[in-house]
């Protein structure tokens, strides 16, 4: 029953762990990611959510309840909804609060409750949380973790908390995974890009070729969705390269709503004839 060995053992363990992490900072799990080009603790993946805003994700189709709605009228609304949070607004659509499914269930489970005279306002959360379109998703996820609900209302604070829509935890996670996949794709394309000379049409695999071209004048100011290059020209924008003044060259995978800039260079993939045609535009 001699515990005097515990303190020296703890000190030795701390020293060993510190020394080991200095030599090899990656764990057996993060080492696999590093070998794939994903520097998990270099600030990129950790900051994915900080770079995204609520306005990039939230949904506008939202059902609302007036504060004087009777409980018996709320129940059909709840039973036909896929949500666990129900938003209460005034007649001008200003956010008041929300009702959780938990508070509704408490009324249902209590036979002695006066559910025939209860109205929506009696069930609202006394200190509701909400976010605005410019709130970053890192803050949102921390908020989800603290309050333990699956959705948050999105309001316009400059217009008296006008209710704009809602944001779900699932949508944030889906966006996070989508952005990680996009970053991994960018890394893969950058590796492929660096191994090829794309000043001329270069074969990549089978009948697919790649080329880098300056932005055709007719493309400037239009989104990739508007340009519809795949259907019109048979090519796909794989990467956009931009040299910004005083900054390192920027390369990224654009989404369909990206508006093409005059300083962009487009890395395109498609058939050889299609690439030859678009190079002449």
pLDDT (average), residues 163-184: 87
Which one, of 226, 225, 228, lies nearest residue 278 by Cα? Answer: 228
pTM, two decimal places: 0.58
Say which residue, 68 or 18, is predicted with more confidence.
68
What are phi and psi for residue 197, nearest 5 degrees?
Answer: -100, 110
Please report the pLDDT score of residue 238 as a whole number: 85
Residues 77, 164: Cα–Cα separation, whole Å: 20
Q: Name the region of 153 (left: φ>0; alpha: ψ -120 to 50; beta: rest).
A: beta
Compute and round to an integer the Cα radius of gyration of the chain. Answer: 27
On the question of pLDDT at 177 being above 70, the answer is yes
- Give yes or no for residue 37 having a pLDDT over 60: no
pLDDT given for residue 128 in this prediction: 93
pLDDT of residue 43: 47
Listed ranges 56-65, 87-96, 173-182; the one with the highest mean pLDDT: 87-96
Lowest model confidence (mean pLDDT) among 145-159, 178-192, 244-258: 178-192
- Sequential DSSP letters for the chain: ---TTHHHHHHHHHHHHHHHHHH--S-TTHHHHHHTT--TTTTTGGGTGGG-BGGGT-B----EE-TT-BHHHHHHHHHT-S-SEEEEE-TT-BEEEEEEHHHHHHHHT-TTS-TTT-BGGGGS-SS---B-TT-BHHHHHHHHHHH--SEEEEEEGGGTSEEEEEEEHHHHHHHHHHHHHHHHHHHHHHHHHHTS--SS-EEEETTEEEEEEEPPGGGTT-BHHHH-HHHHHSEEEEEEEE--TTS--EEE---TTPBP-TTEEEEEEE-HHHHHHHHT-
pLDDT at 98 over 90: yes
pLDDT at 185 (0 to 100): 65
Instruction: Identify which of 263, 272, 273, 270 has the alpha carbon closest to the alpha carbon of residue 215.
Output: 263
What does the pLDDT look like over 213-266, one tens digit per residue?
Answer: 999 999 999 999 999 998 899 998 888 888 776 667 788 888 888 999 998 999
């Amino acid at each position: 029953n001699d515990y005097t060995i515990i303190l020296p053992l703890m000190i030795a363990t701390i020293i060993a762990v510190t020394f080991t992490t200095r030599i090899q900072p990656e764990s057996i799990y993060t080492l696999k990611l590093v070998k794939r080009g994903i520097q998990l603790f270099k600030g990129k993946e950790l900051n994915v959510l900080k770079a995204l805003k609520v306005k990039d994700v939230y949904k506008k189709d939202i059902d609302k309840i007036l504060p004087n709605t009777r409980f018996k009228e709320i129940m059909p609304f709840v039973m036909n909804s896929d949500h666990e949070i129900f938003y209460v607004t005034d007649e001008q659509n200003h956010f008041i609060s929300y009702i959780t499914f938990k508070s509704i269930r408490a009324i249902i489970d209590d036979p002695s409750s006066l559910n025939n005279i209860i109205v929506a306002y009696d069930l609202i959360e006394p200190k509701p949380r909400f976010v605005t379109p410019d709130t970053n998703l890192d803050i949102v996820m921390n908020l989800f973790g603290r309050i333990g609900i699956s959705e948050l209302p999105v309001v316009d604070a400059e217009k008296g908390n006008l209710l704009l829509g809602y944001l779900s935890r699932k949508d944030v996670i889906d966006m996070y995974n989508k952005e990680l996949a996009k970053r991994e794709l960018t890394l893969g394309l950058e590796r492929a890009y660096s191994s090829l000379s794309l000043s001329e049409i270069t074969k990549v695999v089978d009948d697919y070729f790649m080329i880098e071209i300056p932005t055709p004048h007719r493309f400037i100011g239009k989104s990739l969705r508007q340009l519809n290059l795949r259907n019109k020209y048979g090519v796909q924008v794989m990467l956009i390269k931009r040299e910004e003044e005083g900054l390192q060259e920027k390369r990224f995978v654009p989404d369909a709503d990206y508006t093409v800039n005059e300083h962009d260079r487009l890395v395109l993939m498609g058939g050889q004839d299609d690439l030859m045609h678009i190079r002449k535009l």
